[in-house]
């Protein structure tokens, strides 16, 4: 099981589990909450078949990575990503972030720049800034996030059941786009994550990425589901598109937040077309 040390807590190392497949130009897939790198199951084979080297990793606290008590904020998450990029000596890399993974892409570029980055992709992502405040009046009220934290603290397994139902719009898409078995598998991954990480990551969603987006100077694809109940389209993708010069926004009709599974064919088509178009421009 390949692992990279990204820090230490007391007497033990903090290690991230990663997978490194194939050869060719590298693509790093950064998962969302409360999943792991395995959630990219429906994107990895098409990327490999198209000749890309594909790297996934489990965020600290999730999957097979270490479960420290601290470090669940975006400066640390970006440091973790940078450690992977540097340790694997990835260059000309395409960064693809789903949901809160889009925050890693934003903070990484805002902190470390784009010297090693070829393209960026944000899928169902939280940037630029979710929280409603005086300078962000159309954001999401803070009580929504407080309610999520309270639900997790009170009955994490039970809360995750309801959350994942809305993550995949199960009431609409069950049987046609997602099975009960798939939802159960995602619940298993979520409930076995660190309880500390699961809660602290919700606090991290309130990070302001507006300044980070000013540093995007590489081709950027923004993908979002029209029917996303978790991260509202108008608060996230449309604003990110406005903030990133030259970015490309694709809205997937009828897609929920978890569209990398329910609408995998559409997501893969958009992602591969974007990556291939950039390859031809470079050539």
> Is residue 241 among the annotated active site residues?
no
Q: Is the dihedral of CA 80, 209, 224, 149 positive or negative?
A: positive
DSSP state of 46: H
Minimal CA–CA distance to 59: which of 27, 120, 103?
103
Active-site hit among 99, 124, 194, 247: 99
Maximum C-alpha span of the chain: 54
Q: Among residues 241, 257, 263, 270, which one is catalytic?
A: 257
Helix H or strand E segment including 121: strand 117-123
Distance of alpha carbon 195 from alpha carbon 28, whole angstroms: 26
Catalytic: 257? yes
- Looking up tokens 């008590």 gives 69
Q: Report the alpha-carbon distance of residue 138 to residue 117 in Å, rounded.
A: 31
66 closest CA partner among 187, 195, 203, 194: 194
Q: Which of 228, 236, 241, 270 is catalytic?
A: 228
Distant-in-sequence, close-in-space partners of 65: CB < 8 Å, separation ≥ 6: 3, 15, 16, 17, 57, 58, 59
- The answer to whether the CB of 104 falls within 8 A of the CB of 211 is no
70: phi then psi, degrees, rounded to nearest 5:
-140, 175
What's the first-to-final CA gap in the chain, in angstroms? 36
Residues recognised as catalytic = 99, 228, 257
């Amino acid at each position: 099981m390949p692992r990279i040390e990204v820090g230490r807590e007391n007497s033990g190392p903090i290690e991230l589990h990663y997978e490194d497949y194939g050869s060719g130009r590298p693509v790093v897939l950064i998962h969302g909450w409360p999943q792991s790198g395995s959630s990219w199951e429906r994107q990895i084979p098409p990327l490999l078949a198209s000749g890309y080297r594909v790297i996934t990793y489990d965020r600290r606290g999730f999957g097979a990575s270490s479960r420290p008590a601290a470090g669940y904020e975006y400066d640390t998450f970006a440091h973790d990503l940078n450690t992977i990029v540097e340790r694997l000596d990835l260059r000309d890399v395409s960064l693809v972030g789903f949901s809160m993974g889009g925050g890693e892409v934003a903070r990484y570029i805002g902190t470390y720049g784009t010297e090693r980055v070829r393209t960026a992709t944000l899928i169902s992502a939280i940037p630029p800034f979710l929280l409603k405040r005086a300078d962000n009046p159309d954001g999401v009220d803070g009580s929504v996030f407080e309610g999520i934290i309270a639900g997790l603290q009170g009955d994490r397994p039970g809360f995750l059941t309801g959350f994942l139902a809305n993550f995949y719009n199960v009431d609409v898409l069950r049987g046609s786009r997602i099975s009960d078995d798939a939802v159960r598998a995602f619940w298993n991954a979520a409930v076995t994550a660190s309880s500390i990480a699961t809660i602290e990551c919700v606090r991290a969603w309130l990070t302001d990425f507006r300044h980070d987006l000013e540093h995007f100077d590489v081709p950027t694809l923004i993908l979002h589901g029209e029917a996303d109940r978790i991260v509202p389209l108008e608060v996230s993708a449309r604003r990110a598109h406005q903030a990133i010069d030259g970015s490309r926004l694709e809205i997937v009709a009828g897609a929920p937040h978890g569209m990398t599974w329910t609408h995998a064919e559409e997501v893969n088509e958009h992602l591969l077309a974007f990556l291939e178009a950039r390859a031809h421009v470079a050539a």
